[in-house]
């Protein structure tokens, strides 16, 4: 499934570059993803008894004139090939490809409490300096984390949690006692 989504995303990305419309494709892919992930849209798209022509008419009336013709043709193609289940993952992959092209990464942060604007700004700046990329934060609150964040960004895992610090201190103390 991922492979097909990746192939669709790669083809769309190539078209975006070819048409010099990378930012347009990004913005419209974000719009499409947000719209089509609605439960009612998913139900319509994945329903086995709704015909291809009805689905294509839905795409046409909903998006024609609002999105690039190549994105609209992608939607038509998925309906025609009975591959509607790949639309959302292909759009996600397209957005990721464009972000990578623009040197933007998303940092997924898990913390015990929400970050305030200052904390988010400091963390974003620190990660930007470490990675030499623009960083967008996606924060998830997880009360089981006592303090400090887990950060997943650009293939890196950073654990600044209190639990890890306590574990490291315990190991350090044990090593110090045995010396």
Would you place residue 168 in the very low, low, confident or very high pLDDT band (cuts 50, 70, 90)? confident
Give me the mean pLDDT over the 51-79 stretch.
96
Residues 95-116 pLDDT 10s: 999 999 999 999 999 998 999 9
- The pTM assigned to this predicted structure is 0.77
- For residues 45 and 36, give the distance between their C-alpha atoms in angstroms, rounded to a whole number: 9
Residue 4 class from Cβ within 10 Å (0-12 exposed, 13-18 middle, 19+ buried)? middle
- From CA 6, how far away is CA 153, in angstroms rounded? 20
Q: How far apart are CA 85 and CA 94, in angstroms?
A: 15
Complete DSSP assignment for 25-80 = HHHHHHHHHHHHTSHHHHHHHH-TTS-HHHHHHHHHHHHBTTB-HHHHHHHHHHHH
Question: What per-residue confidence (pLDDT) applies to 75?
Answer: 97
Domains present along the chain, CATH in parentheses: 2-99 (1.10.520.20), 103-178 (3.40.30)
**Tens digits of residue pLDDT in 115-161:** 999 999 999 999 999 999 999 999 999 988 878 888 999 888 988 88
């Amino acid at each position: 499934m991922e492979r097909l989504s990746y192939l669709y995303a790669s083809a769309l990305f190539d078209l975006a570059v070819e048409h010099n419309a990378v930012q347009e494709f990004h913005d419209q892919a974000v719009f499409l993803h947000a719209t089509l992930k609605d439960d009612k849209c998913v139900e319509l798209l994945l329903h086995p008894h709704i015909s291809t022509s009805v689905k294509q008419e839905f795409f046409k009336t909903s998006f024609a004139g609002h999105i690039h013709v190549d994105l609209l043709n992608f939607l038509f193609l998925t309906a025609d090939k009975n591959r509607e289940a790949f639309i959302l993952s292909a759009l996600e992959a397209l957005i990721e490809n464009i972000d990578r092209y623009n040197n933007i990464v998303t940092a997924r942060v898990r913390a015990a409490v929400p970050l305030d604007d200052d904390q988010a700004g400091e963390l974003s700046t620190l990660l930007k300096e470490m990675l030499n990329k623009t960083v967008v934060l996606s924060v998830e609150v997880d009360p089981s984390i006592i303090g400090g964040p887990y950060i997943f960004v650009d293939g890196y895992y950073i654990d600044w949690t209190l639990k890890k610090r306590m574990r490291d201190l315990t190991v350090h103390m044990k090593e110090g006692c045995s010396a």
